[in-house]
Amino acid sequence: MGGPSSNGHLTAVRTSELLRFATAGSVDDGKSTLIGRLLHDSKAILEDQLQHVVETSERRGDGYLNLALLTDGLRAEREQGITIDVAYRYFATARRKFIIADTPGHEQYTRNMVTGASTADLSIVLVDARNGVLEQTRRHAYIASLLRIPHVVFCVNKMDLVDWDEAVFDRVAEELTDWSARLGIPDVTFIPISALEGDNVVERSERMDWYEGPPLLYHLEHVVIATDRNLTQVRFPVQWVIRPNSTEHHDYRGYAGQLAGGVVRSGDEVLVLPSGQRTKIQAIDTFEGARECAFPPMSITLRLKDQLDVSRGDMIVEPDDPPTSARELDAVVCWMSESALRRGARYQIKHTTRSARAVVDQLEHRVDVNTLAHQPASELALNEIGRVRLRTSAPLIVDPYARNRTTGSFILIDETTGDTAGAGMICAAS
């Protein structure tokens, strides 16, 4: 079994994978306690940090070890007892290194949840066993599904307060199985836990022998994530052209970027978009030397067989199943700005390594994040989610978000303030 081992991550350095997970929840559902326990039991909380929490909890008169103080780093947060935005925490076991994107779960923080979820491989949704499935549980699951987080773990917490009752757990699991199916979440796991007492967090609970699955940490260490990324359609947004202009590398011309989809091999036939020219991959270069093959999310440099005019914003793709070159996008947008999105408004759009201008042609509807109902809307305010139709000043090379999280996503930037105003996921394009 894969319990945490404090020395293991030295020897296992070559095989340990990185898992990014997001947690969302409010103050009293035990989220901080759960994170605190994962960090503490994996030795990621060090003595001076713990000492700080002890002293501050006492001074504030919290009456308990307030583990939220570990993540709430800013003075305003500590003073007001709130979490302003996404806090990132790190811990490691022998098998994996973990990045936690910890976000507050209240509706008014939807934008933070979306931000944390955008890079997550897995989402932990906490359910208080006493209260069962609440509106916010459904909302958290919806956001995980919207951002296409492949794995969702529902931790039914505070099982100690319901006498470790299997029936309580089953009821929650049944209800959320239906909801998850409706949302189309591919992999759903249910774990009964007590974050406070540690049951089924790191160690198996002996008080819930009716539960046959693994504890949470074991699941986090073993869930297969390597195949979650699109490994079938090659997508390589060109980020930077490497041209040394030195006598030693006189004719060198390499296209650098982070592979967004597919497995590329030296010798593969490829298509360059938007020009539509075909060529072959001459070599896959890295600092260490040439590689035979590469897969996402590796940062690599491609050299092509023919001398073509390729620059930043272009995409090198596979010829058989290329993305769409589109100026009209149907997308779901989560709004992140205090100045509302309205029909006719113009923004800067950034998609992969390409930027353009975009105008909102249509605001189709707003999504009620608690019921999924579509409502007619004349604007999208901060933290609201809706479906829009955008027209762009130049073609973007896109896939549906459901197919590729990198080539299917974009951000909208307010041209006046420069702020990131919205996050978009492409449904269809033409």
Partner 1 sequence: MNPLAYELAHLDALEAEAVHIFREVAAEFERPVLLCSGGKDSLVLLRLAEKAFRPARFPFPIMHVDTGHNFPEVLEFRDRLIDELGERLIVANVQDSIDAGRVAEETGPRASRNRLQTTTLLDAISEHGFDAAFGGARRDEERARAKERMFSFRDDFGQWDPKRQRPELWNLYNGRIRKGEHVRVFPLSNWTELDVWQYIAREKLEVPSIYFAHRRQVFKRDGMLYAFSPHVELVDGEEPFETSVRYRTVGDMTCTGAVRSEAVTLQAVVAEIAATRVTERGETRADDRVTEAAMEDRKREGYF
Number of residues that bind partner 1 (CB under 8 A): 82
d(CA 32, CA 27): 7
Per CB under 8 A, the list member of 61, 63, 64, 75 interacting with partner 1 is 75
Nearer to partner 1, 7 or 378 (CB): 7
Output 130 or 249, the one with its CB closest to partner 1. 249
Is the CB of residue 426 less than 8 Å from the CB of residue 399?
yes
The 8-class DSSP code of residue 415 comes to T
Residue with tokens 């130049």: 394
Q: Please tell me whether residue 423 binds partner 1 under the rule CB under 8 A.
A: yes
124 forms part of the interface with partner 1 (CB under 8 A): no
What is the number of other CB atoms lying within 10 angstroms of the CB of residue 37?
23
Does residue number 249 form part of the binding site for partner 1 (CB under 8 A)?
yes
In Å, how far from its chain's centre is CA 377?
27
When the beta carbons of 32 and 352 are compared against partner 1, the nearer one is 352
Is 346:359 a contact under the CB 8 Å cutoff? yes
Element holding 299 (H helix, E strand): strand 299-304
Among 61, 63, 64, 76, binds partner 1 (CB under 8 A): 76
Residue 111 binds to partner 1 (criterion: CB under 8 A): yes
- Indicate the SS3 state at residue 377: coil
Site track for partner 1 across 310-339, x = CB under 8 A:
--x-----------------------x---
Of 85 and 330, nearer to partner 1 (C-beta) is 85
Secondary structure class of 110 (helix, strand, coil): helix
Q: Which of 134, 189, 295, 382 binds partner 1 (CB under 8 A)?
A: 295
Closest CB to partner 1 among residues 72, 128: 72
DSSP string, 141-188: HHHHHHTT-SEEEEEEE-GGGGTT-HHHHHHHHHHHHHHHHHHT-SEE
- The torsion of the CA quartet 281, 285, 291, 295, rounded to 10 degrees, works out to -80
Exactly one of 348, 359, 395, 427 binds partner 1 (CB under 8 A); that residue is 348
Residue window 197-236: x/- pattern of binding to partner 1, with contact defined by CB under 8 A: ---------------------------x-xx-x-x-----
Q: At what angle do helices 110-118 and 135-146 cross, to 10 degrees?
A: 40
Q: Kindly write down the DSSP assignment for every residue of 341-370, as one continuous string.
A: EETT-EEEEEETTEEEEEEEEEEEEEE-TT
Please give the residues from 78 up to 97 whose contact with partner 1 meets the rule CB under 8 A. Answer: 78, 84-90, 92, 96-97
Kindly state the tokens that stand for 81: 């007892």
**Residue from 64, 167, 184, 246 in contact with partner 1 (CB under 8 A):** 246
99 in contact with partner 1 (CB under 8 A): yes
The residue among 273 and 349 lying less far from partner 1, judged by its C-beta, is 349
Per CB under 8 A, the list member of 298, 345, 394, 427 interacting with partner 1 is 298
